[in-house]
């Protein structure tokens, strides 16, 4: 990660800006209809901040972030991602390993499809739709299975992995970037929850749908910087 840019610092600056705006708005008693802008810099705001700061780790989608980074680590470490992107450059052994991995991936995908379209609709909700279904709630976990298992199979088939410890090392190769992403998500959660506490979203006319879209972008926009920047992870 480039020292000159860290998403966590950007979000921290935006958080301080929101706090400053809330403080100024509190002084001038900015309001719209019955909605008043709440100041974070004040007795009530500070109480809210202290009371909720520790729980923000449960608000941010950190579990999914860890799974995504683990997928990146094992896919890259096993050589599976490279094999998928440059199949013409593979040795005969690597080519055979790719075929075996593709078959494994197809089998896993067929199981998922059976869980969706099969008679039990196991991965769908009780109403037979995506809303509140295991597929919707566990999409990242299912994607992890779909990518991690073939990556491990490829690694052992192509001799990229010789033992289980090699798999662990591949997972741990993203430890530092993952820590950076989690830190960024923690600051992002503080930014989002502070923004909503001040009522700035309502005063700016942002609907719940728009706010959910904004939250998604804020949480996941930094992901490519960490996933792509693993080689320079010492700079995070």
pLDDT tens, residue by residue, 172-209: 888 888 888 899 999 999 999 999 999 888 888 889 99
Whether the Cβ atoms of residue 190 and residue 15 lie closer than 8 Å to each other: yes
Q: What is the pLDDT of residues 43-95, one digit of tens each?
A: 888 899 888 887 887 888 888 998 998 898 999 999 999 999 998 899 999 99
* Residues 100, 92 contacting (CB under 8 angstroms): no
Mapped onto helix, strand or coil, the DSSP state of residue 91 is coil
Helices (H), the chain: 7-27, 43-52, 62-78, 80-85, 92-117, 134-137, 139-157, 164-172, 175-197, 200-203, 208-220, 223-228
């Amino acid at each position: 990660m480039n020292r000159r840019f860290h998403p966590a610092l950007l979000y921290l600056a935006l958080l301080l800006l929101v706090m400053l705006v809330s403080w100024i708005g509190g002084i001038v008693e900015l309001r719209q209809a019955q909605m008043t802008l709440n100041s974070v810099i004040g007795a009530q705001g500070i109480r809210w901040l202290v009371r909720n700061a520790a729980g923000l780790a449960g608000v941010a989608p950190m579990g999914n972030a860890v799974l995504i980074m683990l997928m990146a680590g094992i896919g890259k470490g096993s050589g599976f991602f490279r094999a998928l992107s440059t199949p013409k450059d593979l040795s005969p052994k690597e080519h055979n390993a790719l075929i075996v991995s593709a078959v494994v991936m197809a089998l896993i995908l067929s199981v998922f499809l059976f869980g969706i379209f099969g008679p039990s609709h196991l991965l769908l909700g009780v109403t037979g739709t995506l809303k509140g279904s295991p597929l919707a709630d566990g999409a990242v976990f299912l994607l992890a299975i779909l990518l991690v298992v073939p990556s491990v199979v490829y690694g052992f088939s192509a001799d990229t992995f010789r033992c289980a410890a090699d798999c662990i090392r591949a997972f741990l190769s993203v430890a530092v970037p993952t820590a950076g992403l989690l830190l960024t998500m923690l600051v992002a959660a503080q930014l989002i929850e502070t923004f909503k506490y001040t009522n700035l979203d309502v005063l700016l006319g942002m609907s719940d749908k728009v706010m959910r879209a904004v939250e998604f972008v804020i949480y996941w926009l930094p992901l490519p910087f960490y996933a792509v920047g693993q080689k320079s992870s010492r700079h995070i």
